[in-house]
Chains A and B, each alone.
Chain A
Amino acid sequence: MAAKTIISRPIYGTLSPQPGKHHLFIADAEGALAITDMAGKAPPGFFDGAEIDFIPGSEGKHIAALEALKPAQLHIAPSFASLLPRLKQTLANAHMGLRLYLAGTEGLIGQAMQAALEAGMDHTSIQTEHRGSLARRMQCVHCKGITENVTTQPALCSHCGLLLLVRDHYSRRLAAFQGVCINAEDRSEIPPMEEAFP
């Protein structure tokens, strides 16, 4: 789990079974392991009312482990973008009592959280657990473009090409970290690019 540095930096926890009958899990890659770990603490029948939406990624791992939990529904999606319409639909039709669990990368957690907030859920009532890559979703404060899966510091904006310092300043509305030009005074100054968010 990433250390808390500034107030807007999200803090993630450990998934734990919440009371209620309807449970929705959104996970990517190693986020599946957060779900299987939590399953050990869940009361019998917990997954009877559960839907798991899973984005396995290129390696396609962990699907069998989720199947073994026998959730009411297991939906496999190639990317978050392809999952989003379904998620929005589910949330729009949902009733109070639906519990949401997000597990995996920060980008996934942030974007799923954003959809849930739009649907009226309170961020404090959503369970999150960070697993896997620390890659960040970054917004360039200059051109406003979003770059996914940023792993380096500084990072290149994929839209305007500026070299950006990836800040810990996080926007819940955008589900993204802010990237600010690192060499605004003198563009010829190019600090070394290092892997910072493996």
Chain B
Amino acid sequence: MSTGTTKLDVVVSDVVPVNHLVTRFHFRRRDGGLLPTFSGGAHVVVEMRDSDRTRLNPYSLMGSPLDTREYTISVRRDDVGRGGSLFMHRQVKPGLEMVISYPVNLFSLDLRAKKHLMLAGGIGITPFMAQTSQLAGAGGNFELHYTCRTASLGTYADVLRQRYGNRVRLYHDDREERIDLDRLLSSQPLGTHLYVCGPAGMINWVRDRAAALGWPSETVHFEHFAAPQPGAPFDVTLALSGKTIRVGEQQSLLEAMEAAGVDPPYLCRGGVCGQCETNVISSDGKFIHNDHWLSEEDHRSGCKIMPCVSRFEGKSLVLER
């Protein structure tokens, strides 16, 4: 069984459109009991039975960790994505029975911090919904800076403003409002931890500026779920099971392994947790490493690959698992 992927049988208790791109889903336990406790920043992997294929997408829990009667996630529709978000938007209705994983937290608060500075971009707001609830309940010191494209796409901005007032600052791209990042970072009291969740470009920008301004890397936390990138189909041999499988254009290597009945471990399915790492036994071709886990050296050596997001182009590839 995959590590950290113990399953929960749930029923969709509500589906709420939030704006023209985002829909919120509520899950309750099928047996009516309480769901496992989680901490702000945790995600669950939602299993989607989409005709003959199973999609597994990670989504941050956005409800209050103080309330485990239900889990809530928000899904942004991606019309050019691989179809998971479209499935959620089109097929998932109240009453549908689904399977989700136990919560896993790869983006937890460091509770030793004196202050928590949060930066969200777009749908990257969801883990902060739970983190702010958790901190507000415990009287924690936080400040949230939230950038969105337009006011109407400022998912939950109104809720957050109402709950936390001036502790929440909003920036709208269409009004050319931009975070004065250097000033913000330079004016934080000692003992502040920084959390960022949003598009890759934003995360890189924030991490780079924080490092340049002297923030120790231990105080900078980020979460980025990279969806697996499509690419040319390729064949791979799995040494342990002796199987040779084809990875389709829209499929990740991890998904192809799962479809072939191999049960590799995973936690994030986004190239950040390290759980799915596997050894390359031999290869003739080029790796397309899309992960944030392996070091540059690992990438260059071609000895390891993260099957959840990375691909391959070439003649032959043999992996250990």
Contact = CB atoms under 8 A, between A and B. Distances in A.
A21 B190 contact: no
Contact of A96 (B112, B188, B212): B188
Contacts of B217: 125
B213 A21 contact: yes
User: In the complex, which of the residues A18, A91, A98, A120 has the most CB atoms of chain B within 10 Å of its own CB atom?
Assistant: A120
Contacts of B194: 96
Contacts of A94: 189-190
A21 B214 CA distance: 7
Given A19-B211, A120-B113, A120-B114, A95 B188 contact: yes
A185 interface: no
A19 B191 contact: no
B293 interface: no
B218 A96 contact: no
A22 interface: yes
Contacts of B192: 96, 120
Interface string A83-110: 0000000011011111100000000000
A117 B318 CA distance: 49
Contact of B216 (A92, A119, A122): A122
B189 A19 contact: no
A97 B214 contact: yes
B215 interface: yes
B212 A119 contact: no
A97 B219 contact: no
A125 B190 contact: no
Contacts, number: 63
Given A95-B186, A96-B219, A97-B185, A120 B214 contact: no
Interface residues of A, number: 19
B51 interface: no
Contacts of A96: 185-186, 188-190, 192, 194, 213-215, 219
User: In the complex, which of the residues A91, A92, A94, A95 has the most CB atoms of chain B within 10 Å of its own CB atom?
Assistant: A95
Contacts of A18: 214, 216
B187 interface: yes
User: In the complex, which of the residues A97, A98, A122 has the most CB atoms of chain B within 10 Å of its own CB atom?
Assistant: A97
A92 B216 CA distance: 18
B138 to A, nearest CB: 17
A86 to B, nearest CB: 15
Contacts of B188: 95-96
User: In the complex, which of the residues B187, B192, B216, B217 has the most CB atoms of chain A within 10 Å of its own CB atom?
Assistant: B216
A125 B216 contact: yes
B114 A20 contact: no
A125 B219 contact: yes
Interface string A47-72: 00000000000000000000000000
Nearest to A116: B190
Interface in A116-154: 119-122, 124-125
B190 A95 contact: yes
Contacts of A120: 112-114, 189-192
A92 B189 CA distance: 8
Contact of A97 (B113, B191, B213, B218): B213
A120 to B, nearest CB: 2
Interface string B198-237: 0000000000000111111111000000000000000000
A22 B214 contact: yes
A73 to B, nearest CB: 17
Contact of A119 (B185, B190, B218): B190
Given A21-B213, A21-B214, A91 B219 contact: no
Given A19-B213, A97-B213, A120-B112, 14 more contacts: A18-B214, A20-B214, A20-B215, A94-B189, A95-B186, A95-B188, A95-B190, A97-B186, A97-B214, A97-B215, A98-B190, A120-B113, A122-B218, A124-B216
Interface of B: 112-114, 185-192, 194, 211-219
Q: Lowest 5 CB-CB distances: which A-B pairs, in order? A: A120-B191, A20-B214, A125-B216, A97-B214, A120-B114
